[in-house]
Amino acid sequence: MAEGWARALKSDRIEAYSAGVAPCFVHPLAVRVMQEAGVDISRQYSKHVEELDGIAFDYVVTLCDYADSKCPVFPGQGKRMHRPFEDPIRARGTEAQVLAKFRSVRNRLRAFVEGMPENLDK
């Protein structure tokens, strides 16, 4: 969702990639709640960090604790930081409760991305 917001709101200033040490599919509920907000992430996918080898980054931002602890060092990387967000995939409850969690995280991610890149130096 963060990559989707970055592409939708800040494509003139930010080149965003979703990556991880154990990449996975984009959750259907993430696609759904982003579509509700007018952002199509249905063709996005999480890349393995090795796919990004050779790209010079100004910032590497981890959004979940697992990624923060397992993310490798990128040679030549810029500033690395951790901004924790709850993973909505872990939400339990009724469909309405789980959707509410996805929407909450979606909205928090939007606010985070709207403040980029300035909020990355805080």
What are 109-119's pLDDT values in tens digits? 999 999 987 88
| Residue 121 counted as domain residue | no
Which residues sit opposite 19 in a β-bridge? 47
Beta strands in 1-122 (DSSP E): 19-20, 47-48, 59-62, 79-82
Tell me whether residue 74 is in a domain: yes
- Parent domain of 77: 2-111
SS3 (DSSP) at 82: strand
* Residue 118 in domain: no
Number of structural domains (the chain) is: 1
Which CATH number is 46's domain given? Answer: 3.40.50.2300
- The verdict on residue 117 lying in a domain is no
Q: Record the pTM.
A: 0.86
- Would you say residue 21 lies in a domain? yes
Average pLDDT over residues 98-111: 97
pLDDT at 76 over 60: no
Task: Read off φ and ψ for residue 70, nearest 5 degrees.
Answer: -110, -10
Residue 55 lies in a domain: yes
| Banded model confidence at residue 73, pLDDT cuts 50, 70, 90 | low
Residue 120 lies in a domain: no
Query: 10 or 71: which carries more pLDDT confidence?
Result: 10
φ, ψ dihedrals at 33, nearest 5° = -70, -30
